[in-house]
Chains A and B, each alone.
Chain A
Amino acid sequence: MKNNKKEIQDELEELAPLLSKLKKEEGFSFPDDYFNQLPEQILNQIDFSKNKKVKETISAAATITWVDQLIEQLASFFRPKIAMGFSMMVMLGIACISIFNGLNEVDISVVDLTSNDLEDYVKTNIDDFEIQELLNVLGDEEEISWTKIKMNDEDLDGYIDEIIDDIDATELEDFL
């Protein structure tokens, strides 16, 4: 606006010589402390209760938006493509968990098995084992000192009968 000063003065001199010579003063003043009191006077006239309502409305709008977003996100799971993808992910997740849990169970069972458990398992599944294997294992685990075993004739006959009963017919033929 300062740049306009000369242009305005030149224009004024041309249009009104008397006015252009007049010292430019508005002559008006304002009361002391006027501008310190003005903000309070203005604020007293503003109805802040309306602004509170506006604030509440804005808050409510924000809540609705948040709820809407949540519902929208949940609803998106039920859209066909997304639902299919989500289902696949869930199935893969369950499969992975099952596999890892299975591996863990095997590890735990091997660690936790006692010799009694093993004996029970062997007795239950004795048919799955070869006699030679059992004998070898038995030979490795504990050497039977036949000379130290004291048996009478009846016990010995019974023991031999048990062995014969356990041996297959073909094996018995080969043995004989």
Chain B
Amino acid sequence: MVNDHEDANDVVQNTFIKVFKSIKKFKGNSQLYTWLYRIATNETLTFLNKKKRKATTSIDDDELGMRHKLSADSYFDEKKAQLKLQNAIKLLPEKQRLVFNMRYFEEMSYREISGILETSVGGLKASYHHAVKKIEQFLNEQTDV
């Protein structure tokens, strides 16, 4: 979800601090895993929004920068040929990116994602379908080039 390892590290730390401070609020209404995942997701979105507010560049420049950043990240193995996919994912709107990551990489059911994001299963299916179609189109374009 975030651009590089440093950002990911910040989000992880913020998430655990939030968990530490809020553990008394956990009432067991959902699974602990779901609760933790929800906090991590919220922290990620908050982090991205803060970054967006600070950024002065245009959206196009930002997307370009993100792709460049990914190539420059020493903790991303470009040789694994996943760069194209990651670049495509970076272009997705936040909500679609979240849903795609949860469904594609984490292999979660729509019900599980619904518990975390508190969104209807129908809405999640729509988000995932849009995301997959966009990525497929991007990959096709990159292959043609």
Contacts and interface: CB of A to CB of B under 8 A. Distances in A.
A149 to B, nearest CB: 107
Given A15-B132, A27-B83, A27-B86, 11 more contacts: A1-B107, A1-B112, A7-B109, A8-B107, A12-B132, A15-B136, A16-B133, A18-B140, A25-B80, A26-B82, A27-B78
A27 B109 contact: no
Q: Which 8 A-B pairs have the closest CB atoms?
A: A16-B136, A27-B82, A27-B80, A15-B132, A42-B16, A16-B132, A1-B107, A4-B109
Interface residues of A, number: 27
A2 interface: yes
Contact of A45 (B13, B85, B136): B13
Interface in B1-37: 5, 8, 12-13, 16-17, 20-21
Contacts of B139: 16, 18-19, 22
A145 interface: no
Interface stretch (A28-36, A94-102, A123-131, A132-140): A28-36
B85 A22 contact: yes
Contacts of A30: 5, 75
B106 A1 contact: yes
B98 interface: no
A31 B21 CA distance: 27
A46 interface: yes
A165 to B, nearest CB: 103
B17 A42 contact: yes
A38 interface: yes
A150 interface: no
B31 to A, nearest CB: 12
Interface in B119-137: 129, 132-133, 135-136
B107 A27 contact: no
A25 B86 CA distance: 10
Interface string B78-94: 10111101100000000
Size band of the interface chain B makes with A? 20 to 34
Interface of B: 5, 8, 12-13, 16-17, 20-21, 75-78, 80-83, 85-86, 103-109, 112, 129, 132-133, 135-136, 139-140, 143
Contacts of B81: 23
Given A8-B107, A42-B13, A19 B135 contact: yes
Interface of A: 1-2, 4-5, 7-8, 12, 15-19, 22-31, 38, 41-42, 45-46
Nearest to B143: A18
A41 B80 CA distance: 31
Contacts of B75: 28-31
A42 B11 CA distance: 11
A25 B139 CA distance: 16
A12 B12 CA distance: 29
A51 B140 CA distance: 55
Given A27-B83, A42-B13, A2 B107 contact: yes
